[in-house]
Structure 1
Amino acid sequence: MFMPSVLAPGTHSIAVNGVAQHYHVSGIGPYCIVHAGGPGIDASYLRLPLLEEGLTMVYLDPIGTGSSGRLATHPQGYSVDRFSEQLLAFIDAAGIPDPYLLGHSHGAFVVLEAALKRPGGLAGLIMYAGAAYTGGAFMADASAEIAAFVARHAGMAEAKAVERAWASIPTIRTDAAYTAALRDLLPAYMSDFRRWPDMLATLQRRLQATLLVGDGQVFDVRDRLATLQVPALVVTGTDDFILGPRHAALLADLLPQAQMRIFEQSGHFAHIEEACAFAEVVLRFTGRPGRALSGI
């Protein structure tokens, strides 16, 4: 049942699966639900004002983050499966008709899992810096990319901070330490952090993270994607060290109705590093170019 009151512009919170689900609604046009990454990061870094010119954006604070509620087992239990169940239940509770799902990073895993569980009733998927799997050599490859970043920027304070932060991740046990590590890692997530000093400083200042623990299961949906008959847009940045073009290409190859776009001057944050181009690609995919692109 469509519930316009809970989808009015502004900030809302409703009970979903027994947990308070906080979200913000802004824009005009078809609905696009945004699931942030991390895991453990709220939606504040992922506001997409250019998309709001053609889509009604619904920005979720994933459970356990921001102003959303926490599981009774917190910090345990925040698996891709649990996040996807929350997302589907939110769609039902809010009565959102035929939404697009946009997931960034870990959020891309969540929207993909949700679509696999319930492909009907979705207008399309936007998988932004996602992947079909995280097992095998996934983290070893990421570590190699971090080492390459440190070597390229040898002697710089940012490189030293990135190296320390990456090494600290396995031993982190508090939200404060997790937040500090992610802030220090941000330069490696960008195509060239030196081009965006103000943006980097703003991201580092605003980023807040919650240390969430999943179920220990490796994410791997490669053998399930051939049956997913949902239009999909796969996007990432050329210089994304952890979820870059190789992962995007595999997703696009395995999904029957996928198209792909690689942003050549971006890392993990194409919506900031190439904001206009990112918006244009997404709006064209959703069939909403019109006025939104006239000023891009």
Structure 2
Amino acid sequence: MTLHFEVHGVDSDAPSVLMSSGLGGSAGFWRPQLPGLVAAGWRVVVYDQRGTNRSPGVLPDDYAIADMAHDVVEVLDASGTARCHLVGHALGGLVGLQLALDAPERVASLVLINAWSRPNPHSARCFDARIALLAGSGRRAYVEAQPIFLYPAAWSAAHAEHVAAEVDHAYDNFPGDANLLARIGALRAFDVDARLGDIGVPTLVATATDDVLVPWTCSQRLADGLPNATMDRVVHGGHAHNVTEADAFNPVLLKFLAQQTQQQKQPTHNQPDATFSGQRK
């Protein structure tokens, strides 16, 4: 089985950022960030997570965030990336936390966008409702509801064509009920709350107060529990505020990453592993 990844940026010796998306699993989620990162001189690796989009495959019922972190190690090896600054949204942030515990030598810093360290009852209720919608009304209803959890209502109304196209794409590339349920099960079981003190890398915790899926207090708990964390909290933007408020988010991201290059001398690349698919852009 292969994972689809892309490497953006022309300087092969530049420091590397790996970006891990949320439940949708798509490399395309990071379009609002890619141009600015590349223009700032970063080498950026994005990938489609296993069992989604261009990385097909059947996931086992017991698929876990630890398995997703192992997949990141394989993407790093395949793309010739010895160490990375990992930027993760929601589920992707959980993958980053797990990777920092399991393979700390591969992680130079973390950016956690609306992520969490342990289950909470509000998010559990949201996922219960989404699972029931999938079971009772089918895939189309499930993907039509996705923007409600991702975006503020005013932003969705103002970008109706974009949202409609995104919903159609999600429907056309639906990973299958079993894969989706396995991925939801993995994120719902994730709990590293007691181990946050073991993650010492510099971390930017980014959150939006109006996130309707993950309470911003989950990010506050991360910032309080991680030994080397700073928190950027915005009032508006929803669960995907790096998309809806990209003009505000991107300078914060770039500033944090620039600070890391000043503080760390990062190893760059290994030899790529030819068993993985990928393309350089």
When normalised by structure 1's length, the TM-score is 0.73
Q: What is the one-letter code of the residue matched to 1:172?
A: L
Q: Which residue of 2 is the match for residue 177 of structure 1? A: 138
Q: Which residue of 2 is the match for residue 14 of structure 1? A: none
Q: Which residue of 1 is the match for residue 193 of structure 2? A: 222
1:175-229 CA-to-partner distances (Å, cap 9, x unmatched) read x934641332313421232233233223223223313215667211110010211
Q: Which residue of 2 is the match for residue 60 of structure 1? A: 47
Q: C-alpha displacement at 1:167, in angstroms?
A: 3.7
Determine which of 5, 18, 28 is the counterpart of 1:44: 28
1:209 matched to 2:174? The reply is: yes
Tell me the SS of whatever aligns to 2:194.
helix
C-alpha distance in 2 between matches for 1:236 and 1:252: 10
Q: What is the one-letter code of the residue matched to 2:27?
A: A
C-alpha distance in 2 between matches for 1:86 and 1:97: 14
1:27 matched to 2:1? The reply is: no
C-alpha distance in 2 between matches for 1:285 and 1:244: 23
Aligned residues of 1:132 and 1:221 also touching (Cα < 8 A): yes
Tell me the SS of whatever aligns to 2:2.
strand
What is the correspondence of 1:159-170 to structure 2 with a 5 Å cutoff?
Answer: 167=129, 169-170=131-132
**Larger helix proportion of the pair:** 2
Tell me the SS of whatever aligns to 1:194.
helix
Number of residue pairs the alignment of both structures matches: 244
With over 3 angstroms needed to count, the CA separation of the structure-2 counterparts of 1:95 and 1:135, relative to structure 1, is same
Q: Which residue of 1 is the match for residue 116 of structure 2? A: 131
C-alpha distance in 2 between matches for 1:35 and 1:177: 27
Q: Which residue of 2 is the match for residue 152 of structure 1? A: none
C-alpha distance in 2 between matches for 1:177 and 1:138: 21
Q: C-alpha displacement at 1:42, in angstroms?
A: 2.0
Q: C-alpha displacement at 1:53, in angstroms?
A: 1.9
C-alpha distance in 2 between matches for 1:205 and 1:41: 16
1:235 matched to 2:206? The reply is: yes
Determine which of 130, 134, 148 is the counterpart of 1:187: 148
Q: C-alpha displacement at 1:83, in angstroms?
A: 0.7
With over 3 angstroms needed to count, the CA separation of the structure-2 counterparts of 1:26 and 1:179, relative to structure 1, is farther
Q: C-alpha displacement at 1:168, in angstroms?
A: 5.3
Aligned residues of 1:45 and 1:203 also touching (Cα < 8 A): no
1:67-88 CA-to-partner distances (Å, cap 9, x unmatched) read 11414xx353432111111112
With over 3 angstroms needed to count, the CA separation of the structure-2 counterparts of 1:197 and 1:138, relative to structure 1, is closer
Tell me the SS of whatever aligns to 2:157.
helix
C-alpha distance in 2 between matches for 1:23 and 1:202: 23
Determine which of 86, 89, 104 is the counterpart of 1:104: 89
C-alpha distance in 2 between matches for 1:30 and 1:183: 38
Aligned residues of 1:190 and 1:239 also touching (Cα < 8 A): no
C-alpha distance in 2 between matches for 1:264 and 1:195: 18
1:94-150 CA-to-partner distances (Å, cap 9, x unmatched) read 33132111111111111111111111242211111110112555413x48xxxxxxx
Aligned residues of 2:93 and 2:112 also touching (Cα < 8 A): yes
Q: Which residue of 2 is the match for residue 151 of structure 1? A: none
Q: C-alpha displacement at 1:34, in angstroms?
A: 1.2
Tell me the SS of whatever aligns to 1:287.
helix
Q: What is the one-letter code of the residue matched to 2:43?
A: T
The answer for unaligned runs of 5 or more in structure 2 is 261-281
Q: What is the one-letter code of the residue matched to 1:206?
A: H
Q: What is the one-letter code of the residue matched to 1:201?
A: A
1:246 matched to 2:211? The reply is: no
Determine which of 196, 221, 226 is the counterpart of 2:159: 196
Calculate percent identity across the aligned residue pairs.
26
With over 3 angstroms needed to count, the CA separation of the structure-2 counterparts of 1:232 and 1:274, relative to structure 1, is same
The answer for unaligned runs of 5 or more in structure 1 is 1-18, 144-165, 290-296
Q: C-alpha displacement at 1:171, in angstroms?
A: 6.3
